[in-house]
Amino acid sequence: MTLLVALLPLTLLAANPFGDLTGGVHDANIDAIYNAGITTGCVPNESYCPTDNVTR
């Protein structure tokens, strides 16, 4: 099992849980702010709501 995890691309290991992203140009940035702990989305760890305003 450890070998299988080691062979996965880092982008799969660091993926966010948001099911409402569409593969747009900003998805990598959304991944980065999720993994940095800046956002959990509008529905925590489920939806990002890319058309909503962002607060911090």
pLDDT at 5: 47
pLDDT at 16: 86
| Residues contacting 42, CB < 8 A, separation 6+ | 48, 49, 52
Predicted TM-score (pTM) of this structure: 0.64
1-56 per-position pLDDT tens digit: 555 545 544 444 557 899 998 889 999 999 999 999 988 898 988 999 988 887 66
Cβ contact 28:21 at 8 Å: no
Sequence spans of domains, the chain: 12-56
| Residues contacting 35, CB < 8 A, separation 6+ | 14, 16
pLDDT at 48: 92
